[in-house]
Each structure stands twice: as C-alpha cells, then as structure tokens.
Amino acid sequence: MTGDPRRRVPRTDGLLAEPRLAAAAATLGRDRVRAAVRAAQDRARRGEITPEDVRDVALAALPAPAPRVVLNATGVVLHTNLGRAPLSPAAVAAVVAAAGHTDVELDLRTGRRARRGRDALDALAAAVPDAGAVHVVNNGAAALVLAATALATGREIVVSRGELVEIGDGFRLPDLLESTGARLREVGTTNRTTLDDYAAAVGPGTGFVLKVHPSNFRITGFTAAVPVAALATLGVPVVADIGSGLLVADPLLPDEPDAASTLRAGAALVTASGDKLLGGPQAGLLLGAADLVRRLHRHPLARALRVDKLTLAALAATLADPATPTRAALHADAGLLRERTGRLRDALAADGCKAEVVPAVAVVGGGGAPGVDLDSWALSLPERYAEPLRTGDPPVLGRVARGRLLLDLRCVPADADATLRAAVLRVPGDG
Ligand SMILES: *Cc1c(COP(=O)(O)O)cnc(C)c1O
C-alpha cells in the first residue's frame, strides 16, 4: 500500500533545509552535511534504516554542535540547567534577522542616534501601561544590582529575613546586594515579618524597601508577610523583585506576582527575569516610576549591564506574541498530553518496545510558582534507559523515580515525538 520504502526516502534538498541539518551545514560546511545525508539515504534505500530515520541518522553521523540541543522530557517547564525558556519561532527568527547590521541605536528617519532597543522597550511599556518607564539589562540579578547601586549605595536596603533568597548555584541575593556597597537592614524573622518591623527600620538612611518574591521555595504554617500595598505606605520607595517576569496575572498561577498588579499596589520599581514565565530571552526587566527608571538607565553601571541586540530582538518578538512555548507547556491540557503519550507508547509497542503511560506531576521549576503541581502524564520506561537517552543524539532528559524513567511530553515540542520515538528505539533492548 505504502509501496516501496525506497520511494519514501526524503530528498536531499528537503533534508538540507531541515533546521538542524541547515544549522550543521552552517558550521561544518555544506559538503560534509550533504555527504552524511547521502550516506543515510543509501542506507534507507538498502532497507537498513527506515526513511523516517534518515534525518536523525545523518545528524548522528556529524559532530554534535555545541551547545547540544536537548529534548526536555523532565516535566520541569523552566529548567535552569536546560536554558530555562525556549524561544518562540518568531523570537528565533528575530534573533537571526538581528544578527547583521540593524538600526538598534539609530533613528532611520532623522539619521540620528536613538535610544537603544526602543522596539523592545516600547513593547514592554505597552504591555504594562502602569509603568511610567522601563529599562532592560542582562538578567534579573543585574536588574537588582543596578537598582541597589543607583538607589542605595552607602544607604540601607530594608528587607525581610524571610526573603533572603539563594537563587541557585550558591549565589545569594543578600551577597549580591551588599556587593554594590548598599547595607542590608534585615527585619522580622524567617517565618513572620510585620509592617511594624519595617516601620521601625525605615529612616533617613533608607535607600529603599525591598520585597523579594520567594520564587523557588515556600514557607507554610505560622507565617506573616507584608504585601507591597502596605509597604508602599512607609514613605520610601518599594522595589519589588517579582522574579518570574509575569507581566499580567495568570489565573493558573494565583500566587505568582505580576508586574502590573505589583505596580498598581504601589511599588516604585519592579524587577524580573525575561527567561522565566515571560518565556523570552535571558534579560532583566525594570519597570516603574519614570524618575527612578531614568536614574537607573543613566547610571554608569547601566553601560556595563547593557543588553545585546539579539536579546532585544528576541524580547520584542516575545512581547509581540505572548503565545510562547513556555506558555504552551504551562497551559498544556492534561487530557491531550495523555492521548499524545498513548500514541507514542503504541508506536513504540509496534516496534517491540514496551512502555507504560502513567500519571505524573510537572512543575514550573526554579523560575517560579513553587508548590504549583501541573497534572501531567508520562511515558514510563525501565531506569536503564536514562543514561543512553541522556548521552544519545539528540540527548533526551527525563526524570528518574522509583526505578523508572519518566518521559513527560509537556515540554517536548509536538513535532519532536518522532525524534523521541527514534531515540528510545536506539537504546539496545534487554539481553
Ligand atoms: C530568578 C530570580 C532572580 C535572578 O534572576 P536571573 O534572571 O536568573 O538573574 C532574582 N530574584 C528572584 C526572586 C528570582 O526568582
């Protein structure tokens, strides 16, 4: 019915246009990639591999580019070790387009210098009308450093003991803030801090009150924290590090602060990351009162934290269309994930590989919303699959639990299921 498989061997031109092979051609040269494609096509014509596997076999014959592109089947939506948010196709296209000469700092109408990255800045300002002005730096930590340096060097930052966060890899916000020459004035206790605690510490030496969203942990039980609206009555600027980069509230994540609500509650300045829940490139977003933001962006340190034109292009594209892969992964329907995982199981079974579909719990990750469980489904395989999949091509990362390897499709692009299937089938069987 499908006829001779040799007729289904994909054509060379189509294969060379495929993104991963095209990327390999850009770094290794077209001739080398063409040779690998021809060899894989020949193997398919001899019936040694299926026509569907030609691309993967050609890729496997070429040296892997660095960094390696991996399949995130961990069920962790924002995995710091896997580069947090993957960019949307529109953002990727914008990065590629911006790689050459661009008008990043020039007004083409007047021929004069213009504010760097104004497309991204305008889009950010438009997305959060409550912000008087906005600025963008390299990452969330840089946004905090710039705020502390410009607004509190030689002065005090008043912060709750319950919000002195370690962000990861041994880096701690208190150390970061003190490295700017600001002094930390810790108030309250680990579990409880009241408005009176802040009020007693605020004085003429105060640079600002800092509110940090505990984005990677939760304290429950006998707790008290002071909301931004109450801190805003203290008569000093409130800087809120919301972490995740949600610009407006998301009903799926009710405890996750967003920039618009935080500014409306009275924060003078909000800082956030671009590559967490916003689903954009690594960047530090600063939104707030126009006079404060202006002080930040004219500060000498701002030049050292200046953001790359590729980042600005990706950020503008992300803001233009918030339907990012991160958003899709967060909001993926559990029923549809179950069906998709079932189809993968059936396809594997047809090739003699036995796997199960099991309920699983996905999480947002270090990028935000600790304690939020996302109902999910996973393909369950024996644990021995974990290492060959991780070291294979493409590397597939799953989660090991109770002697099983769980592959959660929530963060795997839908068009990568065939690639995942082929990767699982390449793991040698028992015996
Ligand atoms: C992630 C995070 C940071 C650090 O942001 P980066 O973009 O990783 O530099 C700072 N504060 C909070 C609350 C965070 O969640």
Tens digits of residue pLDDT in 210-264 = 999 988 888 889 999 999 999 999 999 999 999 998 999 999 999 899 999 999 9
For residue 66, what pLDDT is reported? 74
Query: Helices marked H in 88-184 — which ranges?
Result: 89-98, 118-127, 140-152, 173-178
- Compute the C-alpha angle 255/339/276, nearest 5°: 30
Structure-token pair, residue 350: 């047809």
Q: Is the minimum distance from the CB of 213 to ligand 1 under 6 angstroms?
A: yes
Q: Is the minimum distance from the CB of 243 to ligand 1 under 6 angstroms?
A: yes
Same fold, 71-82+327-425 and 89-321: no
- Residues with Cβ within 8 Å of 300's Cβ and at least 6 positions away in sequence, in order, are none
For residue 3, what pLDDT is reported? 62
Q: Which atom of ligand 1 is nearest to the CA of 244?
A: 15
Q: How high is the mean pLDDT of the chain?
A: 94
Give distance in angstroms: CA of 394 to centre of ligand 1: 29
Render the burial of 190-209: b for 16+ CB within 10 Å, e for the rest: eeebbeebbbebbeeebbbb
50 class by beta-carbon count within 10 Å (0-12 exposed, 13-18 middle, 19+ buried)? middle
Give distance in angstroms: CA of 156 to centre of ligand 1: 21
189 pLDDT tier (thresholds 50, 70, 90): very high
Given a cut of 80, whether residue 179 has pLDDT beyond it is yes
Label the pairing between strands 112-113 and 396-397.
Answer: unpaired
Write the class of the CATH domain 89-321: alpha beta
Region 374-380: what's the mean pLDDT?
97
Domain limits, the chain: 9-61, 71-82+327-425, 89-321
Percent of the chain with pLDDT over 90: 85
Q: Is the minimum distance from the CB of 167 to ligand 1 under 6 angstroms?
A: yes
Give the separation between CA 315 and CA 312, rounded to whole angstroms: 5
Helix 89-98 and helix 309-320, axial crossing angle in degrees, nearest 10: 150
For residue 4, what pLDDT is reported? 74
Q: Is the minimum distance from the CB of 140 to ligand 1 under 6 angstroms?
A: yes
Pocket test for ligand 1, best of 172, 241, 271 (most atoms within 8 A of CB): 241
Give distance in angstroms: CA of 220 to centre of ligand 1: 21
Nearest protein Cα to ligand 1, atom 7: 140
Q: Is the minimum distance from the CB of 241 to ligand 1 under 6 angstroms?
A: yes
253 class by beta-carbon count within 10 Å (0-12 exposed, 13-18 middle, 19+ buried)? middle
Question: Which 8-state DSSP code applies to residue 182?
Answer: P
For residue 214, what pLDDT is reported? 87
Q: Is the minimum distance from the CB of 73 to ligand 1 under 6 angstroms?
A: no
Asked whether 113 and 312 are in contact (CB, 8 A), the reply is: no
In this structure, which topology does domain 71-82+327-425 adopt according to CATH?
Aspartate Aminotransferase, domain 1 (3.90.1150)
Asked whether 149 and 301 are in contact (CB, 8 A), the reply is: yes
407 pLDDT tier (thresholds 50, 70, 90): very high
Closest CA to 394 of 361, 418, 360: 418
Given a cut of 80, whether residue 190 has pLDDT beyond it is yes
Q: Is the minimum distance from the CB of 212 to ligand 1 under 6 angstroms?
A: yes
Structure-token pair, residue 159: 């912060």
Region 261-288: what's the mean pLDDT?
98
Asked whether 411 and 329 are in contact (CB, 8 A), the reply is: yes
- Compute the C-alpha angle 364/368/369, nearest 5°: 75
431 pLDDT tier (thresholds 50, 70, 90): very low
- Residues with Cβ within 8 Å of 293's Cβ and at least 6 positions away in sequence, in order, are 131, 132, 133, 134, 135, 269, 286, 287
List the single range of 15-24, 148-157, 315-324 with lowest mean pLDDT: 15-24
Give distance in angstroms: CA of 320 to centre of ligand 1: 23
Give the separation between CA 395 and CA 145, rounded to whole angstroms: 36
Asked whether 102 and 53 are in contact (CB, 8 A), the reply is: no
Nearest protein Cα to ligand 1, atom 14: 243
Give distance in angstroms: CA of 365 to centre of ligand 1: 12
Q: Which atom of ligand 1 is nearest to the CA of 215?
A: 15
Q: Is the minimum distance from the CB of 119 to ligand 1 under 6 angstroms?
A: no
Give distance in angstroms: CA of 272 to centre of ligand 1: 7
Nearest protein Cα to ligand 1, atom 15: 243
List the single range of 25-39, 323-337, 402-416 with lowest mean pLDDT: 25-39
Given a cut of 70, whether residue 280 has pLDDT beyond it is yes
The H-or-E segment that residue 166 falls in is: strand 166-168
Give the separation between CA 312 and CA 168, rounded to whole angstroms: 25
Q: Is the minimum distance from the CB of 141 to ligand 1 under 6 angstroms?
A: yes
Q: Which atom of ligand 1 is nearest to the CA of 216?
A: 15
- Residues with Cβ within 8 Å of 229's Cβ and at least 6 positions away in sequence, in order, are 265, 266
Render the burial of 309-331: b for 16+ CB within 10 Å, e for the rest: bbbbbbbbbbbbeeebbbbbbbe
For residue 2, what pLDDT is reported? 52
pLDDT in tens, 327-359: 999 999 999 999 999 999 999 999 999 999 999
- Compute the C-alpha angle 405/406/412, nearest 5°: 125
Given a cut of 80, whether residue 82 has pLDDT beyond it is yes
374 SS3 class: strand
1 pLDDT tier (thresholds 50, 70, 90): very low
Region 85-99: what's the mean pLDDT?
96
Given a cut of 50, whether residue 25 has pLDDT beyond it is yes
20 to 3, 10, 55: CA distances (angstroms): 29, 15, 9
The H-or-E segment that residue 346 falls in is: helix 334-350
Q: Is the minimum distance from the CB of 215 to ligand 1 under 6 angstroms?
A: yes
Pocket test for ligand 1, best of 79, 166, 173, 215 (most atoms within 8 A of CB): 215
List the single range of 89-103, 139-153, 248-262, 364-378 with lowest mean pLDDT: 364-378
Give the separation between CA 71 and CA 380, rounded to whole angstroms: 16
Give distance in angstroms: CA of 139 to centre of ligand 1: 8
For residue 367, what pLDDT is reported? 65
For residue 124, what pLDDT is reported? 98
Give distance in angstroms: CA of 377 to centre of ligand 1: 29
